[in-house]
Structure 1
C-alpha cells in the first residue's frame, strides 16, 4: 500500500470524523427555527456552543425584535428559560451577553490599534469563551428591546418606544417565540434583566400573570423574575447617594452630618436653593464623590481610553465589532434595517425618543407579591448610581416578611461573597443579596460569584 494512498485515506477519514462530530454537536440541543451561527468574526474557529439568532415580529409585524438564543449546556429540554433585558433604556442585549458575563462570549480586553488623532481604537475586537456563563444551567434569550436597541427595528414612523410599550411587546414576543419553539413551552420561565430594566421586568412579569389568568392563549410557565442593580424610582435613588457615600467611607462623618443637618435629609440640588449652608455642604460632598466612577466607586472616572490609560468603556469595542459587515452577516442581520448599531441609545447626541411612563415599579412588585412567582434581586455593593440601600428601602413596601435568613453572609471558596436576606408570604418568595466588591452591574465585576449565586438560587439551594 503506497504512502500516497495511506495519506489520502487518512484525510478522507479525518474529514468524515470532523463532519460527524460537528453534526452530532449541533444536534445535542433542541432544534429551533432560528438561524444557527457557527462562526463569528473575532472568535477563532467554530463556536463551541449553540448560538441562534432571529427576529420575531410583534404589533402586526411593524416591530421586529432581534434576539440571541443560547441553549443550556446541561438539560435544555427541562432547564429554565430566561428572557434577558439589558438596561439603558435602549441598550442592546449584547451588553450583558458579552460584557455582563451572562452569555458564552466575552471580549478580549487586550489593546487594539490606536489612532492618536481621534483618540479611538480601531480594528476588529477579539472574542473568547466566558467560563462563567449562566447558560451552564439555563436557556437564555437575549432580547434587543426596546425597538432601536441593537438590531431591533420598526417599519412604522409613528412608533414611539417607552416603558409600557416595551412590556407589552415583550409579552407578545415571548408568546410567539414559544409558539415557534414548542420544545420549550413547558420549561420554567424567568424574566431577567439589570439596571433600567428594573422598571420594565416587573411589568412584563405582571403582564404574563394577568394573561395567564385571563386565558389569553397558551399559558406561559412563569416561575419568577430576576433583577440586578435595578432602577426602581429615580428620585429616591438619587436621594440615597449621599447616604451610601457615607456608608462606604467616601464621606467623613463630619461632612455627612453637616449635610444631613443643613439639608434636612433632602440632598437634591433643587432642595438646596435658598439654603446657603445646605448648598455649601453638598458642594463639599460632591468634591469627594465626583472623581469616582458612579458605577464602581473603587475606580476613578475615565473619559478617554488610550494605550497608557485603560477605561471601562464598552461602546467603542462593541460598536467596532457589531458594525462590521461580516459580523452582521454572521449574525443573520437583515440588510438595510438599521443605519448604525449603537450599544446604548440616547448617548453622544444620538436621538432616541423614549417615553419614561413608569415612574416607579414598586407597585408591580407589590402586585407580584400576591402571586406565586419567586424573585431574585441582587446588587453590587460598590455601585453608587443604583445603591443597594435604596433597594432595601422599597422592599419594605412589599407584602412580605423576613425569614430566618436576614442579612447573613454567604460564602464561595471560603470567602464572603455577599450578604443575603429572604422574605416571603404564603405565595411569594423574595431573595435579595449583595455581591461584595461588585459594581454596576454585578456580574461584570464578579462573574464567578454571580454565577454561583444564580446556580444556587435557580436550583432552590440556599445562598
Structure 2
C-alpha cells in the first residue's frame, strides 16, 4: 500500500538508529528483576511501606547504602513509592533513578518524559552530569544505555536474557541521564497535541525537564552539565544547550543550570554542507569500499546542485522542507542503501532489513513486566520500541533545517564544544561533520582552520585525529561507525574523560 511504502521508505532513511550489538568479552551478572509474587510477599511481610512526596515527578531510586529500591505506583503529580529490599537493575553498586516528569511550562496538556539515570561509579557528589539525547528523530535513549555507553547490555543466552556489565560505561566518569524524548518515544507519553515537530519544541521541553529535574533533585544542580547527542541529536543537542544558555541569561529559573559542554557524535547539524559528502563517502571512504560504481558516483555528484538548492530553499520556506528531504535522500542516500551495506558502518552488510541491527534482546527485556515495574513505567506508556515512526514523520519539516547557528553563541559564552565522528559511518559521516565545523562562522574560525590535525592517542595507540582551537574540537575516531561508544568503547570512554576534564585531545 502507499502508506506502507511511505513507512518503509521513512524507516530506510532513518539516520540515527543506535546499535543493537552488545559489549563483548565482559563478565556476565545475572541480576534478575523480582517477580510479582516476590514483590507481593515483601508487602505481606511488612518489608515495604508507602511514601508520598509532592513533586511534579515520579522516580525509581536505588540507594546503594541502604540497599532499598523505590518504585512509583501512581501517575505524575504525586510520587507514590513502595520500598523493598533488592538490587538495582543494570548496576546494583550505584544509586539510580528512573521515572517521569510532566512538562508543565510549554502549553502541553499531558506530556510525560521518561528518564533513567545512574550516578557515577566514583565520587558521584562531584562527578560531572551528562545528559544523553538519542536521535532518530523518534528513537529511544534506552538504546544507547543498553547498547553503547550505559552500565550494562542485555544479551540473549541459553538460560534467557541476562544483564552484562559494561566496563566502559560512561558512568565510570560521570552521572549520566538517558531520556526518551520527544513525546511518544520509548516510554514517554502524552496526548496527540503534545507531539513536537521542530527544534523549538524539543529545546523548550528539554529545558523545562531539566529545570524540574534539578528542582526535584537539587543534589545534582551544581554539577557541571554536559549535553551529548548522537545522529539526529546533532539537531537536538545544540538546541538544548542553546536553550539552557538562554534560560540562564534570562533568569527563567530560580537557579542557573551549570552548563559546561556540548558534544555531538556522528550528528546531522548542517545538512547543506553535510549532504555534499555522501558521494565521496560512498566511493572514496578510506576503507576501500566502493558501495556504488563509477557511473552511480557520477550521478550522485551531478545531483548535488539540485539537492543543495532545495535545502537552501527550506531555510526560508517551510513548505519546501519535506520535498528537500525526499529529493536529497533519494539521490544521495538511496544508491548506497541499494548496495546492501550498513549505512551506519561501511565495513559491514546490513544484517536486519530496515534497521540493520537486531534490537530484539533489549526490546524483550524492557517490556518484561518485572522490568517495567522496577523502572516505574506508567500503565499509560505503550509497549517499548526502539523507534517511533509517527514521531519520525512529525519532523519531516525539521530534517533539513540548519542548526549550526546555535554553536557560535555557546562558544562565545565559554561552553566547550566537541564534534566527533566515527570514520566508518556513512549516514552522518566524518567528512561532512568536519566540513561543517570548518565552515562554522565564529571568531576562532581562522585559527581552527589553520590548525593541523594531530594524532589522538589512546592506550599508546593512534585512535583518531583531532583538531582544536579555543573551546572547539573536532575528533575523527578510527575504526568506528555511527555508534562510537559501541564500536570503540575504550576510545569513547577516553574521549569522554578528556572532554569532561578539559584535557587536550
User: 2:359 matched to which residue of 1?
Assistant: 315
Shift of 1:321: 1.3
CA contact (8 A) 2:64 2:92 kept: no
TM-score computed with the length of structure 2 as normaliser: 0.71
Alignment CA distance shift 1:243-1:216 (3 Å): same
Partner of 1:460: 502
Q: CA deviation at 1:423?
A: 2.3
Alignment partners' CA distance in 2, 1:444 and 1:406: 28
> Aligned pairs, how many?
400
Deviation of 1:212 after TM superposition, in Å, equals: 0.9
Give 2:52's aligned residue: none
In structure 2, distance between residues paired with 1:301 and 1:251: 15
Partners of 2:302 and 2:137 lie apart in 1 by 32
Q: What's 1:242 paired with?
A: 279
Indicate how the Cα distance of structure 1 residues 24 and 371 shifts in structure 2: closer, same or farther if over 3 A, else same. closer
Contact 2:230 / 2:264 at 8 angstroms: preserved in 1? yes
C-alpha contact (below 8 Å) 1:250/1:289 kept by paired residues: no
Closer/same/farther in 2, CA of residues 169 and 288 from structure 1, 3 Å limit: closer
Question: Which residue in the other structure is 1:86 paired with?
Answer: 134
Q: Is the 8 A contact 2:187 2:382 kept in 1?
A: no
Cα distance in 2 for residues equivalent to 1:69 and 1:190: 14
Listed as ranges, the gaps of 5+ residues in structure 1 are: 1-22, 113-122, 272-281, 306-310
**Residue 276 (structure 1) aligns with:** none
Say if 1:164 and 1:200, in contact at 8 Å, map to a contact too: no
**Cα displacement (A) at 1:255:** 2.4
Equivalent in the alignment of 1:77: 125
**1:413-432 mapped onto 2 (5 Å cutoff):** 413-424=459-470, 429-432=471-474
Distance 1:190 1:304, change over 3 A: closer
Alignment of 1:51-70 (within 5 A): 51-59=96-104, 62-70=110-118
Determine if the alignment matches structure 1 residue 331 to structure 2 residue 368: no
**SS of residue matched to 2:412:** coil
CA contact (8 A) 1:34 1:54 kept: no
- Out of 169, 182, 195, the residue aligned to residue 160 of structure 1 is 195
Distance 1:394 1:269, change over 3 A: closer
User: Residue deviations 1:189-226, cap 9 Å, x none?
Assistant: 11111111110111111111111111112111111111
Give distance in 2, aligned partners of 1:389 and 1:142: 28
TM-score (norm 1): 0.77
SS where residue 456 of structure 1 aligns? helix
The structure whose Rg is larger is: 1
Match of 1:20 in 2: none
- Whether 1:340 and 2:394 are equivalent positions in the alignment is no
Cα distance change, pair 83–254 in 1 and its aligned pair in 2 (3 A): closer
Task: Give 1:97 shift.
Answer: 0.8
Q: Given the superposition, is the C-alpha separation of residues 262 and 365 from structure 1 closer, same or farther in structure 2, using an over 3 Å criterion?
A: closer
Cα deviation for residue 443 of structure 1 reads 0.8
* Equivalent residue for 2:352, pick from 303, 310, 322: 303
In the alignment, is residue 207 of structure 1 matched against residue 243 of structure 2?
Answer: yes
**Shift in Å, 1:236:** 4.1
Q: CA deviation at 1:292?
A: 1.5
Distance 2:98 2:441 in 1: 38
CA contact (8 A) 2:422 2:478 kept: yes
User: Is contact 1:251-1:288 (8 Å) kept?
Assistant: no
How far apart are the structure 1 equivalents of 2:168 and 2:265?
A: 16
